[in-house]
Structure 1
Amino acid sequence: MNAEPADQIRLLEVQALDSRIAQLDHKRSTLPEHAELERLGADHAQLRDLLVAAQTEESDTAREQTKAEQDVDQVRQRAVRDQQRLDSGALGAKDLENVQRELASLARRQSDLEDVVLDVMERREAAQQRAAELAERVAAVQSETAAAEARKAEALEAIDAEGFRVAKEREVLAAAVPDELIKLYDKLRGQGGGVGAARLYQKRCEGCRLELNITELNEVRAAPANQVVRCENCRRILVRTADSGL
């Protein structure tokens, strides 16, 4: 294949733009905010589960406290009624003894139940404190997430803007390259990891970074300026310039 030296040089400019587009694509997919948001998402999910557990415990202990306080109130009311009976002076000796025994039993029962109420209150207070702390941490993670999302959106907007500009520039430049040459370049670029054309610089192919041997150099030297030569190692289009070292 033949192509004017200027078109081959222009092909290097197209390659530079394609490389920049690839860099932008890589940058877009590897923004640090992606990993940060993934970490924050995992933190948020874990904290949310812990918060739900703490809120559930708080709700459970609230019901448990209500029940325990009702039990204390029932025992207290029973003791009041017994005390009223005792104070009435209308009880016989046997009933008097039974009521006194029951009052003593109720006093012990009330003391035990009040201990239960205190224990439940302490557990409820601890659950409330945990829930409040976890709610603050969830809010903090949500705030960090919003900030990271904003940074990501700003970065993507800048990348997309540059990508659009570079793509338009590439479109204009590629249109000035002969169709046959640009088709070969695109084919080789797809096969060569995004690089279809490389400069020959100081006897070295900048595509595969290997230096041409003497036989290869002699073949390149002998080739007409408008002949499209290929690197024997990577098979990319090898573009000659004043710095090729020929």
Structure 2
Amino acid sequence: MKADPAAQRRLLDLAEVDAELARVLHRRRTMPELAEITEAEKTVRAKSDALVAIQIQLDDLDREVAKQEKEIDAVRAREDRDRKLLAGGTLNSKQLTDMEHELATLERRQSVLEDDLLELMERREAIDMDGKHAGVELAKAQETLAEATGRRDENLADLDTNQARREAERAKLIPTLPADLLAFYERRRAQRGIGASLLRARRCGACRIEIDTREMSRIRETPADEVVECQECGAILVRTPESGL
């Protein structure tokens, strides 16, 4: 196809803008913060789950402690009642013997319950310390996530600004290009990723491959208003005094 050489040279400006837009898109997809955030989110979930598990243990222990304390209170109340009966002087000898036996049993039962309660309280204290440590670890993980998210958002803001500027430049360039040349360029860009490049010193600016002597001779003999393409990558080759023709 044919196109004014000046219009062909404007393709280089468009290709530069499109290359920058492609770089912006690439940076959006590959910025290190994205991987950091993914890992930080996993860590936060794990730390949060660990804290929840500890809290469940504490709740279970609290119920056990309350149950144990209730049993101890019941034993003490029974012991107090028996001692009052014993002190009342109304019991016969058999009743006194039975009462003394029951009081001894209650004392042993209370001692066992109190030992069990102490063990529960010690376990709870240890798990509570684990919970505090888990809370600190969760806070650190959340801080790491927030910091990575902040950096990502800053980078995205910069990319948004750059993209908006480049899209505005592209919008200004499009009307300056012939429709058929632009359509040809867009097809090449869709197929190859790069629509046009400068032919500089016998080398394609898109694929960086040096063009052989025979192909250079053909290009040299091609009229300036004829659009030529790189035989290797398909990009439109824009000829200027730098092309080495």
Check whether TM > 0.5. yes
Q: Which stretches in structure 1 are left out of the alignment for 5+ residues?
A: none
Deviation at 1:220, TM superposition (A): 0.8
1:86-145 deviation per Cα after TM superposition (whole angstroms, max 9, x unaligned): 334443332222222222211111111011101111122223222222233333333333
Q: What residue in structure 2 maps to residue 157 of structure 1? A: 157
Q: What residue in structure 1 maps to residue 109 of structure 2? A: 109
List aligned pairs for 1:81-92, cutoff 5 A.
Answer: 81-92=81-92
Q: What residue in structure 1 maps to residue 209 of structure 2? A: 210
Q: What residue in structure 1 maps to residue 148 of structure 2? A: 148
1:188-214 deviation per Cα after TM superposition (whole angstroms, max 9, x unaligned): 00000x201122222222222222222
Deviation at 1:65, TM superposition (A): 0.4
List aligned pairs for 1:32-181, cutoff 5 A.
Answer: 32-181=32-181
List aligned pairs for 1:18-33, cutoff 5 A.
Answer: 18-33=18-33
Q: What residue in structure 2 maps to residue 243 of structure 1? A: 242
Give % identity. 40
SS class of match (1:243) = helix
Output the CA distance in 2 between the equivalents of 1:117 and 1:235.
Answer: 82
Q: Which stretches in structure 2 are left out of the alignment for 5+ residues?
A: none
Output the CA distance in 2 between the equivalents of 1:233 and 1:167.
Answer: 29
Output the CA distance in 2 between the equivalents of 1:210 and 1:35.
Answer: 35
The one-letter amino acid paired with 2:157 is: E
Deviation at 1:241, TM superposition (A): 2.3
SS class of match (2:238) = strand
Deviation at 1:77, TM superposition (A): 2.0
Output the CA distance in 2 between the equivalents of 1:123 and 1:230.
Answer: 78
Output the CA distance in 2 between the equivalents of 1:34 and 1:205.
Answer: 35
SS class of match (1:122) = helix
Output the CA distance in 2 between the equivalents of 1:231 and 1:36.
Answer: 41
Deviation at 1:174, TM superposition (A): 2.6
Deviates most, 19-28 or 1-10: 1-10
Runs of 4+ off more than 6 Å: none
SS class of match (1:210) = coil
Output the CA distance in 1 between the equivalents of 2:119 and 2:137.
Answer: 27
Deviates most, 179-188 or 72-81: 72-81
SS class of match (2:198) = strand
